[in-house]
Structure 1
Amino acid sequence: MRTASIERNTKETEISVTVNLDGTGAYNVSTGIGFLDHMIEQLSRHSLIDIDLRVKGDLHVDQHHTAEDSAIAIGEAISKALGDKAGIMRYGNAYSPMDETLSRVALDLSGRPYLVWQAAFTQEKLGEMDTELFKHWFHSFADGAGVTLHISLIHGENNHHIAESIFKGTARALRQAVEIDPRKNGAIPSTKGMLAS
């Protein structure tokens, strides 16, 4: 099993996360932000990556550090569980429809963090979560995981559907990318012979 655990403790947040890339999509998530919990649960369920996440953040200040650090920690745990990335598919992409909403996610587990974000929200909050934090969450996740991540909202009106479509699309793309390709016979999926970590 490709598993990893990360402990991340700062003056702003205390985080423990464990992931299993070869799981079933089981999750146990508590960030203190209900809507963020719901989105990370979607990420787990649709990627089939088990995620156990506990965050104690400075929510008396605002949600920024909790959102940012949870994404970094999950990304770092996934990167650690991937190891040298031998035999993985490396690339993943997904179109994710949800009622009137359609998003597209493409990613590369390249070791080179980069986010292209083409999405917007028309509400300031979903539940108690500030919608401006979604872009930042994915930027922080890309940094932590070392993933090149392209997210595009093709169309959508309902803000809940937009957020959920993006998280589910990212999950499905991740599921493809972390899969072991039996044809690769354990080879690193790069002509350089390595992928940055």
Structure 2
Amino acid sequence: MRAATVNRNTAETKIAVAVDLDGTGSYRVATGIGFLDHMLEQLSRHSLIDLDVSVEGDLHIDQHHTTEDSALAIGEAVSKALGDRRGIMRYGTAYAPMDEALTRAAVDVSGRPFLVWKLAFTQEKLGEWDAELVEHWFHSFAQTAGLTLHIENLYGRNNHHLVESAFKAVARALRQAVEIDPRKADSVPSTKGVL
């Protein structure tokens, strides 16, 4: 089974995460930030990665620690579930339209964390979530999951649609990338032999 759990406990957050890469997209998410919960539900549903996330964060200060630490824990769980990354497709790309918005995502499960972010907002909040934290969530997730991740909004106006199309595009690209390649299920997809 390609599944893993992570518990992350600091003075700022207490987090429990479970993922199953070969799931059905079922989820149970409670971060204390409604819009982030909604986005993580989209990530799970459209990647088919089962996701169980429970966060107790210092939201009385702000949303930064909850956002960052949830991403770090989810990314770490994904990386653990991937193991040596043997047999995966490794690359994935997807376009996700949402009404007037269209976002493209490309992922390489390379073990080399990197984020290219081309998405701008015209408002400071998404629900109660600080818009500037969306990029930080993806950056933190890419770091611990070991992903090279490119996210580019091609067009759109509605900030909710921009973010949701980004999460859905990443989910679909990630789904492709972590799938087992039936032609090479016994090897690591790299000429180096490791990822």
- Per the normalisation by structure 1, the TM-score is 0.98
Aligned partners of 2:35 and 2:135: how far apart in 1? 15
Partner of 1:97: 97
Aligned partners of 2:50 and 2:133: how far apart in 1? 23
Q: Which runs of 4+ in 1 moved over 6 A?
A: none
Aligned partners of 1:185 and 1:71: how far apart in 2? 28
1:158 matched to 2:158? The reply is: yes
Aligned partner of residue 182 in structure 1, secondary structure? coil
Displacement of 1:186: 1.3
Partner of 1:45: 45
Partner of 1:135: 135
Partner of 2:31: 31
1:60 matched to 2:60? The reply is: yes
How many matched pairs?
195
Letter in 2 for 1:163: V
Partner of 1:175: 175
Displacement of 1:40: 0.2
Unmatched 5+ stretches in structure 1: none
Aligned partner of residue 62 in structure 2, secondary structure? coil
- Per the normalisation by structure 2, the TM-score is 0.99
Contact 2:88/2:185 (8 A) holds in 1? no
Letter in 1 for 2:146: G
Aligned partners of 1:126 and 1:190: how far apart in 2? 39
Aligned partners of 1:141 and 1:64: how far apart in 2? 14
Partner of 1:148: 148
Aligned partner of residue 183 in structure 1, secondary structure? coil
Letter in 2 for 1:6: V
Letter in 2 for 1:109: V
Aligned partners of 1:77 and 1:185: how far apart in 2? 21
Aligned partner of residue 184 in structure 1, secondary structure? coil
Q: How does 1:63-74 map to 2 (within 5 A)?
A: 63-74=63-74
Q: How does 1:114-133 map to 2 (within 5 A)?
A: 114-133=114-133
Aligned partner of residue 152 in structure 1, secondary structure? strand
Aligned partners of 2:140 and 2:131: how far apart in 1? 15
Displacement of 1:185: 3.4
Unmatched 5+ stretches in structure 2: none
